[in-house]
Amino acid sequence: MTMQIVRVNVASPVGEWGIEGTVHGVTMVRMPHQSAPPTDGPVPRAVSAAARQLAQYFAGKRTAFDVHFADVAATAFQLDCWEALRDIPFGHVATYADIGAAIGRPLAARAVGNANHANPWPILLPCHRVVASTGLGGYGGGLDVKRYLLALEGVTYAK
């Protein structure tokens, strides 16, 4: 039996973000270029909490998230990388190599980047705070969005 996925949208200065989930938790955050219309019907508690917290983040009133995530298909390596993202504080960055070292894979910087790209919960699990050792690095939402998110947190990157 499949659970109905519910979607709500959250406005931001860089576009509309979609929060999707079920009664089991948030299943995904859609970046502005992936936006889709909201769904009708009751909104599960985790989805409404995530939407409220994301709106607070964009308003400059939240620096950390307390959201229940649904189980998603992922490798053990991806899960380790995503868990390490929780340790990067608001207003700080870490390199892909830093994340690799934190999970016991110091030579896996490129694989960390791929795991970040697969992160189903951007911002809530702050993959935007991971940068390359030579500059900004990449971001699934685009570099302008990454720069905006970092600037919102007081971090600027020119590259």
Active site residues: 127
Query: Nearest Cα to 49, choosing from 63, 64, 65?
Result: 65
Q: List Cα–Cα distances, 146 to 4, 76, 104, 108, in angstroms.
A: 31, 26, 26, 22
DSSP 33: G
Give bridge partners of residue 132 from the DSSP assignment: 135
From CA 63, how far away is CA 79, in angstroms rounded? 22
From CA 110, how far away is CA 154, in angstroms rounded? 26
The number of C-alpha atoms within 13 Å of 15 and in the hemisphere containing its C-beta is: 16
